[in-house]
Chains A and B, each alone.
Chain A
Amino acid sequence: MDLNDTPEQARYRAQVRAWLDEHKAGAPAEQDDDDPAYIDARRAWQDRLAAAGLAGVTWPVELGGQGLGPIEHVIVGQEIARAKVPGILDVIGVGMLGPTIIAHGSEEQKSRYLGPMLHGDEVWCQLFSEPAAGSDLAAVQARAVVQDDGSWRLSGQKVWTTNAHFAAFGLLLARTDPDVPKHKGLTMFIVPMDAEGVTIRGLRQISGEAEFNEVFFDDVRLEPGAVVGGVGNGWATALTTLMFERLTIGLGSDGLGYRPERYAAAIASDEHARTDPEVRRRLGELCVELLAVKFAGYRMLSALQQGQIPGPEAGLAKVTTVRAAIAAGDLIADVLGPDALAEESEWAYMISFLPGLKSAGGTEEILRNTIGERVLGLPPEPRLDKGIPFSELRAKERAGASPR
């Protein structure tokens, strides 16, 4: 067991740190809002990081990456956090969608899209979730129909789409065959966000901010070459993205900003709260969980280095993080009083953000089902959708929902 850098890793860290020390003055200051000038500054910063080899660390060299391992990826993340500069803007593209294209895309797709993605010239968004397909992602209804010339026509709606309002492309999961069971009739597409028929609308959340979008597709034309990973193979392609999503979250848990020190600092300045046994118990309990998640991240990293792919149990880290952060927000509001709930307060923002985060990437309940079944080997929930063509399933749902 060894958590320390090897000499090679220490050298790599020193090299990353030296570059950041030299260039961090040119980094944009981190801010929450996303006006176009700020987004442009972040894209330019991503370009500099990419040019220095600090983006796409695990991507293959021939595709513009560094061909390094997950540990180097984490070292870069740690050093960026230490330098107090923003990381890359397009975490979703470089961390999840790019790797999906690397795994399933054609040679043309790789050479056309990956470079501009890595450098922040073209930001990407993930068009998976729909109003009626979240945790049950294979229930997507966005429909793509093939035309005589091999092109496709796409109609439907996506939701919870981060970065859609400034994205150049999206990776979209659509139904291409409704007459087979739901996991089988899906196909993955690359969609230009400026195509005719694409409408993007900000989706305001509890906090009042719009970090996500709804995206509407009205008879959007897609080229034959837009298919990623083969027609009817969309589910397998989506699973690749979801695996990289787990990795991105798991290896970046420190980066989510839910750190024990941050919460302790909020309480430490209140002399009474600092010594109050009940406050300390609550702070201690939630920090125990966050410390555990931090080391669970190292375990994942270690497993990756041994060539193991993290299983669904990695999702427990998200459950733990969100629960602990909710407890932290609650505690801090109890200590600071209503000022913690002022609209401009970082705590009000966190308190507002977390209830929704509980469902992000799949609800906690569905995640617990999945882990119970795949990791503990418990018998599955009885499923009413197995082996039934999607169109039939929808007809049943409509009949069930209509008044009798």
Chain B
Amino acid sequence: MNLELTDEQSFLREAAREALSRVKTVAAARDALEDPTARPDLWPVAREAGWSGLLVSEQAGGAALSAFDAMLVMIEAGRVLAGVELLGHLPASSLLDAGGDERTAAVAEGELRACFVAAAPPSDVHESWTVEPPAGSVRRPAPVLAGDGTLSGSIAWVADVPGADLFVVACTQAGDGAPAAVVVDSGEARVRSAVRYDATRALGHVTFDGAACTVVEGVAGAQLARAWYLAQALLAAESLGAVETALSMSVAYAKERFTFGRAIGSYQAVKHSLVEVLRLRENTYSLLLYAGWAYEDKPDEFALAASAARSSAGRALDYASRAMISVHGGIGATWEHDAPLFFRRAQLSRRLLGGAGDATDRVAGELLGAVRGATTTGAEEA
């Protein structure tokens, strides 16, 4: 057992930190709230660093790195609120590669930016594949691949969808309802940008109305579910990066700000709250390790591990960003301060891709299902 980062992983992390430091992403996060054009295009950075092909096999021109390596890059992006469109691109690239799609090499190189239009897989209590609704809590059925080979359906709040060159869409086939992955060129889709609250994230609604598409061969429900949970783990990693920054800034301020003749970090109320952030951060990192390991070696546990990481990360970032505002006092709630930007990141991130609450529910579902499975098996043996 060795859970320390390898030299290559440390290098990947340092290189990511260095590459992202060349753009003032946190300041841009504020500016973009008032001027959407201020959102920097970080895709060239991703291409240059080779992140676009991170999960693609070597024969298809990728780096064939692990899911955990991708999470390390996401942590660095989250640390500086960088809106790199990897959340959509990486699961999409991995599905294209699995299906041996001819565009995989261009996607790996980053010449084509892909976006995974995800659907939530069935759980122990929900039978169907569903996607985000534009409003409300009732989820919609996944898009449908008709018998004539066209795709129809609409999906709301898709991360990284505006500006993508092609979409890898999770859908179900008309008739038997079997899940499938299809590729749609951006020209075949109607995309409406819908930025909300956190201007660092390219977010949008996408509609397919009899869109021409090609089926990604060999990709079935298991791979689509795996891509969904990979997206959960990547979002969790990105949130963890934001927690790291929130914690270090809060700790630094708690050391230098004095009240009643003492640094505020010496008060138990402040100290315990910051240790709670540390506790949630440690929990989340441990669960990312679990997710990374399960992705490669324990596929049966990946849904559990990734959902747990997502749930933990959502809670950690919510708590950390609120603590960041509290520790900084009134100044933490001002427009000029960075704390509100991390708070905005927390609030939107927790509602994407099914929401952190759905991830928590899936943790329960996976465990309840496993227990029932074990009981059933036991009964059969008896």
Binding site for B on A (CB under 8 A): 1-5, 9, 71, 260-261, 264-265, 267-269, 274-275, 277, 279-281, 283-285, 287-289, 291-296, 298-299, 301-303, 305-306, 313, 316, 319-320, 365, 368-369, 371-373, 375-382
Q: Which residues of A contact B308 (CB under 8 A)?
A: 287-288, 291-292
A363 to chain B, nearest CB (A): 12
Interface string of B258-279 (1 = CB under 8 A from A): 0000110110101110111011
**Residues 221-261 (chain B) with a chain A CB within 8 angstroms:** 247, 251, 254-255
**Residues 57-108 (chain B) with a chain A CB within 8 angstroms:** 66, 68
Q: Which residue of A281, A293, A320, A378 is within 8 Å of B271 (Cβ)?
A: A378
Q: Which residues of A contact B348 (CB under 8 A)?
A: none
* Known pairs A265-B371, A299-B286 / 15 extra A-B pairs, C-beta < 8 Å: A1-B4, A2-B293, A9-B1, A261-B371, A268-B368, A281-B361, A285-B311, A288-B360, A291-B363, A306-B2, A316-B278, A369-B272, A372-B272, A375-B275, A382-B266
Return the chain B residue nearest A367 by Cβ: B275
Binding site for A on B (CB under 8 A): 1-6, 9, 66, 68, 125, 247, 251, 254-255, 262-263, 265-266, 268, 270-272, 274-276, 278-279, 282-284, 286-287, 289-290, 292-293, 297, 304-305, 308, 311-312, 315, 357, 359-365, 367-368, 370-372, 375
A369 near B5 (CB under 8 angstroms)?
Answer: no
Q: Which residues of A contact B268 (CB under 8 A)?
A: 365, 368-369, 381
Q: Which residues of B contact A301 (CB under 8 A)?
A: 1
Q: Which residues of A contact B364 (CB under 8 A)?
A: 264, 279-281, 283-284, 287
Q: Which residues of B contact A380 (CB under 8 A)?
A: 266
Q: Give the CA-CA distance A293 to B307 in the complex, in Å.
A: 15
Return the chain A residue nearest B288 by Cβ: A295
Take A291-B290, A295-B289, A372-B265 as given contacts and tell me if A3 and B3 are in contact as well, using a CB distance cutoff of 8 Å.
yes
B287 near A295 (CB under 8 angstroms)?
Answer: yes
Q: Give the CA-CA distance A303 to B289 in the complex, in Å.
A: 14
Take A283-B367, A288-B287, A378-B271 as given contacts and tell me if A268 and B2 are in contact as well, using a CB distance cutoff of 8 Å.
no
A296 near B282 (CB under 8 angstroms)?
Answer: yes
B362 to chain A, nearest CB (A): 7
Q: Give the CA-CA distance A131 to B340 in the complex, in Å.
A: 47
- Which of B275, B289, B292, B360 has the most chain A CB atoms closer than 10 A to its own CB? B275
Q: Which residue of B1, B311, B362, B370 is within 8 Å of A298 (Cβ)?
A: B1
Q: Give the CA-CA distance A316 to B278 in the complex, in Å.
A: 9
Q: Which residues of A contact B305 (CB under 8 A)?
A: 291
B216 to chain A, nearest CB (A): 29
A305 near B278 (CB under 8 angstroms)?
Answer: no
Q: Give the CA-CA distance A292 to B270 in the complex, in Å.
A: 24
Take A299-B3, A372-B271, A379-B255 as given contacts and tell me if A287 and B282 are in contact as well, using a CB distance cutoff of 8 Å.
no
Q: Give the CA-CA distance A379 to B266 in the complex, in Å.
A: 5
Q: Give the CA-CA distance A277 to B293 in the complex, in Å.
A: 29
B315 to chain A, nearest CB (A): 8
Q: Give the CA-CA distance A198 to B332 in the complex, in Å.
A: 59
A1 near B5 (CB under 8 angstroms)?
Answer: yes
Q: Which residues of A contact B292 (CB under 8 A)?
A: 1
A261 near B360 (CB under 8 angstroms)?
Answer: no
Q: Which residues of B contact A2 (CB under 8 A)?
A: 1-3, 293
Q: Which residues of B contact A378 (CB under 8 A)?
A: 251, 254-255, 263, 265-266, 270-271, 274
Q: Give the CA-CA distance A35 to B278 in the complex, in Å.
A: 43
Take A376-B274, A377-B255 as given contacts and tell me if A71 and B266 are in contact as well, using a CB distance cutoff of 8 Å.
no
Q: Which residues of B contact A71 (CB under 8 A)?
A: 1
Take A284-B311, A284-B361, A382-B262 as given contacts and tell me if A320 and B279 are in contact as well, using a CB distance cutoff of 8 Å.
yes
15 contacts between A and B (CB under 8 A): A261-B370, A268-B368, A268-B375, A274-B368, A280-B365, A284-B359, A285-B311, A291-B290, A291-B305, A372-B271, A372-B274, A376-B274, A378-B270, A378-B271, A379-B255
Q: Give the CA-CA distance A3 to B305 in the complex, in Å.
A: 14
Q: Which residues of B contact A368 (CB under 8 A)?
A: 268, 271-272, 275-276
Q: Which residue of A268, A275, A283, A292 is within 8 Å of B287 (Cβ)?
A: A292
Q: Which residues of A contact B312 (CB under 8 A)?
A: 288-289, 292
B283 near A320 (CB under 8 angstroms)?
Answer: yes
Q: Which residues of A contact B371 (CB under 8 A)?
A: 261, 264-265, 268
B154 to chain A, nearest CB (A): 26
Return the chain A residue nearest B290 by Cβ: A295
Q: Which residues of A contact B284 (CB under 8 A)?
A: 292
A299 near B361 (CB under 8 angstroms)?
Answer: no
Return the chain A residue nearest B286 by Cβ: A295
Q: Which residues of A contact B274 (CB under 8 A)?
A: 372, 376, 378
A365 near B287 (CB under 8 angstroms)?
Answer: no
Q: Which 10 A-B pairs have the closest CB atoms?
A: A292-B283, A284-B360, A372-B271, A378-B265, A264-B367, A302-B3, A295-B286, A284-B364, A280-B364, A284-B363
Q: Give the CA-CA distance A183 to B362 in the complex, in Å.
A: 50
Take A296-B286, A302-B4 as given contacts and tell me if A264 and B251 are in contact as well, using a CB distance cutoff of 8 Å.
no
- Which of A265, A292, A294 has the most chain B CB atoms closer than 10 A to its own CB? A292
A292 near B286 (CB under 8 angstroms)?
Answer: yes
Q: Which residues of B contact A281 (CB under 8 A)?
A: 357, 360-361, 364
A3 near B365 (CB under 8 angstroms)?
Answer: no
Q: Give the CA-CA distance A260 to B307 in the complex, in Å.
A: 14
Q: Which residue of A3, A275, A316 is within 8 Å of B125 (Cβ)?
A: A275
Q: Which residues of B contact A365 (CB under 8 A)?
A: 268, 272
Return the chain A residue nearest B272 by Cβ: A368
Take A291-B304, A302-B4, A382-B262 as given contacts and tell me if A376 and B278 are in contact as well, using a CB distance cutoff of 8 Å.
yes
Q: Which residues of A contact B286 (CB under 8 A)?
A: 292-296, 298-299
B275 near A284 (CB under 8 angstroms)?
Answer: no
Take A261-B370, A316-B278, A372-B275 as given contacts and tell me if A291 and B362 are in contact as well, using a CB distance cutoff of 8 Å.
no
B306 to chain A, nearest CB (A): 11
Q: Which residue of B5, B6, B251, B370 is within 8 Å of A377 (Cβ)?
A: B251
B372 near A268 (CB under 8 angstroms)?
Answer: yes
Q: Which residues of A contact B266 (CB under 8 A)?
A: 378-382
Return the chain A residue nearest B5 by Cβ: A1
Take A291-B287, A292-B308, A319-B279 as given contacts and tell me if A3 and B271 are in contact as well, using a CB distance cutoff of 8 Å.
no
Q: Give the CA-CA distance A292 to B305 in the complex, in Å.
A: 9
Q: Give the CA-CA distance A279 to B361 in the complex, in Å.
A: 9
Q: Give the CA-CA distance A376 to B266 in the complex, in Å.
A: 11
Take A283-B368, A379-B262 as given contacts and tell me if A3 and B279 are in contact as well, using a CB distance cutoff of 8 Å.
no
Q: Give the CA-CA distance A264 to B374 in the complex, in Å.
A: 12
Q: Which residues of A contact B278 (CB under 8 A)?
A: 313, 316, 371, 375-376
Q: Give the CA-CA distance A375 to B254 in the complex, in Å.
A: 14
Q: Which residues of A contact B272 (CB under 8 A)?
A: 365, 368-369, 372
Q: Give the CA-CA distance A281 to B304 in the complex, in Å.
A: 14
A248 to chain B, nearest CB (A): 18
Q: Which residues of B contact A1 (CB under 8 A)?
A: 2-6, 9, 66, 68, 289, 292-293
